[in-house]
Structure 1
Amino acid sequence: MQDNASPKLKHELGLLDGTMLVAGSMIGSGIFIVSADIIRNVGSSGWLIFVWVITGFMTLTAAVSYGELSGMYPKAGGQYVYLKEAYNKMIAFLYGWSFFAVIQTGTIAAVGVAFSKFAAYIFKPLSEDNILFSIATGTNKSGAPTYFTISAAQIVSILLIILLTYVNTKGVKGGKIIQNIFTLAKLLSLFGLIIFGLIMLKGDVWHANWSNAWSLHKLNADGSFSSYTTTAAMGAIAAAMVGSIFSADAWNNVTFIAGEMNNPKRNIGLSLFFGTLIVTIIYVSANVMYTAVLPLHDIATAEKDRVAVAASTQIFGQIGTLVIALMIMVSTFGCNNGLILAGARVYHTMANDGLFFKKAGTLNKAAVPEFGLWIQCVVASILCLSGSYGKLLDMISFVVVLFYVLTIFGIYILRKKRPDAERPYKAFGYPVLPAIYIIMGLVFCGLLLKYQQGNYPVWGLIIVLIGIPIYYFTKPDAKKQEVLTTDS
């Protein structure tokens, strides 16, 4: 336990701050990019919008379900705490381990790399194509040499992560100011882009895109279509949702900072609802706008999947590229700030439970978990060097949804285990809506395991399972504690 004289978490965040953290952490680079891959998988406008609507439904359902848990346990650590209370310390540790190894750190890395990619529109030497270092690592299956490379974009992403980590070690107030300013800026700019895009609607493009809106097929690079079998179609929808799920993730970050929220029992639940609702409206509207100004083939074949750049060029002309580059830089900067701010609070709570580095459980003079911030920075920086945006995305989406399913199922467990506990909010639509989310989440994870190429969901699952021996190795008395917890 911490000494009474040691720094305590400060209650400096209100409802607006919480809502901005939810929206700001959700909106990174995904909405500007992933629709290209979605269209390639589903091949039509109707299914493009369906993927985003179903993702929004799942996100809102999960968010209002978490409202019940956040009201019951308004503590720093959020989802980690909910899993510990519903299940046991080992399940909570597996989440915290996965959170540290890939979920939060991988998302920080992916968003950081996206910032760098679009910064290259303004200053070309920052491009991912500018390779600063390479070393031969062997050969691939065809005998061609393979290389480990480091690009300028990766270095810039690491410097961004270091900068935002440093700012957040100086106190939650500085992180809050950055979050609010950058989130408001990107919300206003996104709404502006959507409105201008719909004003510039091209009748012939719109008609062509929506004339056969519900034909589900693969859209090839040459503009041709490939039909799916029924099971392959389900796999294609799951593959398409990888991008939308990633783009809608991190909404739960506000639960991690409950220890610094004013009136957390009320404000966490409201922040979750308002933040996810705003982002869902933006995401669906943005994709409707894409289909209003770009033919489906242009969405699918946008250079490096930068759909928003292609759309903005149609709306604003050549200056559109610069407009989107600046928007994404603002968006990803604010997004990473929120992710970095919130993530270290999970390690802080884990450390105080004896399940993480002891030093992560201490606060610095500014009352923030500085050690947790810096080790998160190190792992995220390593992941920046590890591979492409898509690989991280595939791995993260599977693991994230798996733990969302477990957490929401925890509502049913806690209703039975602690029926008389105070619940300022109750999960909306219980027991039906949470059950629908659980079914949809399990189907999504199952389809990814079966159909996703590259086995990245499998690697995500392996990372989770690696946490089991780590838990028992680092916590010798954990097995005894689990038996006692189960018996009680």
Structure 2
Amino acid sequence: MEDKQEVQLKRNLGLSSALSLVVGTVIGAGIFIRQATVLKETGSTSMALLAWIIGGIITLTGGLTVAEIAAKLPKAGGLYTYMENVYGRFWGFLSGWMQVIVYGPAMIASLSIYLAILISDFFNISSQWQTLTSLLVMIIIGGLNLLSNRYSAFFAITSVIVKVIPIAAIILFGLFFGNEHAIGASIQTVQAHTGNFGVAILGTLFAYDGWILVTNLGEELKNPRKMLPKAIIIGITLVIAVYTLVTFAVFKTISVEAIYQQGDNTVSYMVTKAFGVLGGKLLSIGIIISIAGTINGKIMSFPRLMYAMGRDRELPFYKQIGRLNMKTQSPMNATLVTLMLAMIMMIFSNADWLSAKAVFIVYVFYVMTFFGIFILRKRDGLDKTKFTVPLYPLTPIIAIAGAAFVIYNEIVTDVEGVLISGVCVLLGIPVYLWQNKKTTVNK
């Protein structure tokens, strides 16, 4: 028998694991597949590069803001825990419900589909097997996370090391050997029908998303009050530098017309052009491992949130969900439920729609979390012994404005999709009322 009272999460993850989770979770499919999308929306390489930088600034200000909150509340659950502490149990539940029912499974599903596309292209597998390939990818990586957390943490570190190879190769080739000089160039056909800079930034934010997931491991880090802020800030800063350099390298190596024509295959086309067929294949393997590491980070993080909610009796079947496996000391049941939800989404939707809606809905709660820093400082005061956000209050204001900008642009571009994702979140209200009633009766 498993006893959740006796089995505890292992506090055995260091800064290298936390930093690897941030970098490994963030640097995945986005930077490799969104180059053409961002260019098409902006119409020129200069504006596309600016969109990547602004997306990074929005992400960094949000990370700095959350880092102070994380230092105050170093517990498992991350965003769910922060929302509950600042706004009360209802909003904490709703933010957790949003992540475990919509955001988390949608991100895992979309990334698995993107990875399956790359694997299919690499091995010349027919597109009719794409769904099966996506499912196999999810099952294999998910199975790793059913074991002790040291295995998934090891894979997170390994995938980060491996993904350095294709990224470094792309950057170095573009900077020193690229001769297209596409910086400043534009496509007239693109400019004629686009120009939504906000949608372009939204596209970059999908690539930057995932940094907050490390906060779900607050009870598994050795010194979370110090390590969480360090991992968030250093990790996001590294990602911004990498994304800017990769984008610059792509624009120096490939013409804007080629980027426009290649679409999601832009980076694959670049590495083949730069390093030949064999070199391109080897670097493609690195990219595949990179995205697999991103999926691993998300599967490692979201079930821990579901486990935290189950432990707090917030979800149906909380006894099973809020229980750790006695042998592996991992949230096995929560992991299985998360994978099941992701598989359902994968079968009935597509990667682009899932990723866009996932980013939108999480930013609704990001706005509330960022604003929460003002509430916490007023309520609890300023503790200078812990990390404090620099340039307060400017930094959280920029984070709030950036998140609001994302929400507005998604609403005006896809009202129907926004309504669907909103309804999925609101379905959590009757679940909350039912669970609250059951808990009250049991007490």
Mark the runs of 5 or more structure 1 residues left unpaired by the alignment.
131-151, 214-218, 481-488
One-letter amino acid of the counterpart of residue 97, structure 2 = W
One-letter amino acid of the counterpart of residue 470, structure 1 = V
Residue 225 of structure 1 is matched in structure 2 by: 191
Q: Deviations over 1:126-171 (max 9, x none)?
A: x4x22xxxxxxxxxxxxxxxxxxxxx12212212222222222211
Residue 94 of structure 1 is matched in structure 2 by: 94
Match of 1:317 among 276, 280, 283: 276
One-letter amino acid of the counterpart of residue 187, structure 1 = V
1:476 aligns with 2:442: no
Mark the runs of 5 or more structure 2 residues left unpaired by the alignment.
none
How far apart are residue 318 of structure 1 and its match? 3.0
1:300 aligns with 2:273: no
How far apart are residue 458 of structure 1 and its match? 3.0
Aligned length: 437
Q: Distance in 2 between matches of 1:259 and 1:284?
A: 33
Residue 355 of structure 2 is matched in structure 1 by: 393
Q: 1:478 to 1:437 in 2, by over 3 A?
A: farther
Task: Give the fraction of aligned pairs with identical amino acids, expressed as a percent.
Answer: 25
1:352 aligns with 2:311: yes
3-state DSSP of counterpart to 2:210:
coil
Q: Does the aligned pair in 2 maintain the 1:74–1:259 contact within 8 Å? A: yes
One-letter amino acid of the counterpart of residue 365, structure 2 = F
Residue 183 of structure 2 is matched in structure 1 by: 210
1:260 aligns with 2:226: no
One-letter amino acid of the counterpart of residue 370, structure 1 = M
What TM-score do you get using the length of structure 2 for normalisation? 0.93
How far apart are residue 4 of structure 1 and its match? 8.2
1:384 aligns with 2:349: no
Q: Does the aligned pair in 2 maintain the 1:65–1:434 contact within 8 Å? A: yes
Residue 459 of structure 1 is matched in structure 2 by: 420
Q: Does the aligned pair in 1 maintain the 2:100–2:303 contact within 8 Å? A: no
Q: Distance in 2 between matches of 1:108 and 1:36?
A: 22
Alignment of 1:39-188 (within 5 A): 39-125=39-125, 127=126, 129-130=127-128, 152-188=129-165
How far apart are residue 453 of structure 1 and its match? 4.0
One-letter amino acid of the counterpart of residue 330, structure 1 = I
Q: 1:57 to 1:479 in 2, by over 3 A?
A: farther
Q: Distance in 2 between matches of 1:227 and 1:120?
A: 32
How far apart are residue 94 of structure 1 and its match? 1.3
Q: 1:3 to 1:167 in 2, by over 3 A?
A: closer
One-letter amino acid of the counterpart of residue 410, structure 1 = G
Q: Distance in 2 between matches of 1:123 and 1:224?
A: 32
How far apart are residue 259 of structure 1 and its match? 0.6
Residue 414 of structure 1 is matched in structure 2 by: 376
Q: Distance in 2 between matches of 1:383 and 1:336?
A: 15
- Richer in strand (by share): 1
Q: Distance in 2 between matches of 1:227 and 1:161?
A: 37
Q: 1:478 to 1:62 in 2, by over 3 A?
A: farther
1:342 aligns with 2:278: no
Q: 1:348 to 1:108 in 2, by over 3 A?
A: same
Q: Does the aligned pair in 2 maintain the 1:76–1:255 contact within 8 Å? A: yes
Q: Does the aligned pair in 1 maintain the 2:64–2:390 contact within 8 Å? A: yes
Q: Does the aligned pair in 2 maintain the 1:29–1:111 contact within 8 Å? A: yes
What TM-score do you get using the length of structure 1 for normalisation? 0.85
How far apart are residue 478 of structure 1 and its match? 8.4
Match of 2:234 among 274, 278, 287: 274
Q: Does the aligned pair in 2 maintain the 1:71–1:423 contact within 8 Å? A: no
Q: Deviations over 1:260-306 (max 9, x none)?
A: 10111101110111111111111111100111011112112215x21
One-letter amino acid of the counterpart of residue 40, structure 2 = R
1:326 aligns with 2:285: yes
1:238 aligns with 2:238: no
Q: Deviations over 1:389-425 (max 9, x none)?
A: 1111221111121111111111111111222667611
Q: Does the aligned pair in 2 maintain the 1:76–1:258 contact within 8 Å? A: yes
One-letter amino acid of the counterpart of residue 172, structure 1 = N
Q: 1:4 to 1:158 in 2, by over 3 A?
A: closer
One-letter amino acid of the counterpart of residue 458, structure 1 = L
Q: Does the aligned pair in 2 maintain the 1:119–1:325 contact within 8 Å? A: no
How far apart are residue 469 of structure 1 and its match? 2.5
One-letter amino acid of the counterpart of residue 175, structure 2 = L
Q: Distance in 1 between matches of 2:43 and 2:153?
A: 41
Residue 194 of structure 1 is matched in structure 2 by: 171
Q: Distance in 1 between matches of 2:172 and 2:4?
A: 53
One-letter amino acid of the counterpart of residue 154, structure 2 = I
Q: 1:477 to 1:7 in 2, by over 3 A?
A: closer
How far apart are residue 321 of structure 1 and its match? 4.2
Residue 34 of structure 1 is matched in structure 2 by: 34
Q: Distance in 1 between matches of 2:379 and 2:373?
A: 10
How far apart are residue 212 of structure 1 and its match? 5.2
Residue 387 of structure 2 is matched in structure 1 by: 425
How far apart are residue 352 of structure 1 and its match? 1.9
Q: Does the aligned pair in 2 maintain the 1:111–1:336 contact within 8 Å? A: yes
How far apart are residue 388 of structure 1 and its match? 1.7
Q: Deviations over 1:357-397 (max 9, x none)?
A: 31111111221111101100101111111222111122111
3-state DSSP of counterpart to 2:349:
coil
Q: 1:227 to 1:113 in 2, by over 3 A?
A: closer
Q: Does the aligned pair in 1 maintain the 2:45–2:184 contact within 8 Å? A: no
How far apart are residue 20 of structure 1 and its match? 0.2
Q: Does the aligned pair in 2 maintain the 1:472–1:479 contact within 8 Å? A: no
Q: Distance in 2 between matches of 1:262 and 1:435?
A: 31
Residue 134 of structure 1 is matched in structure 2 by: none
How far apart are residue 324 of structure 1 and its match? 4.2
Q: Distance in 2 between matches of 1:243 and 1:324?
A: 24
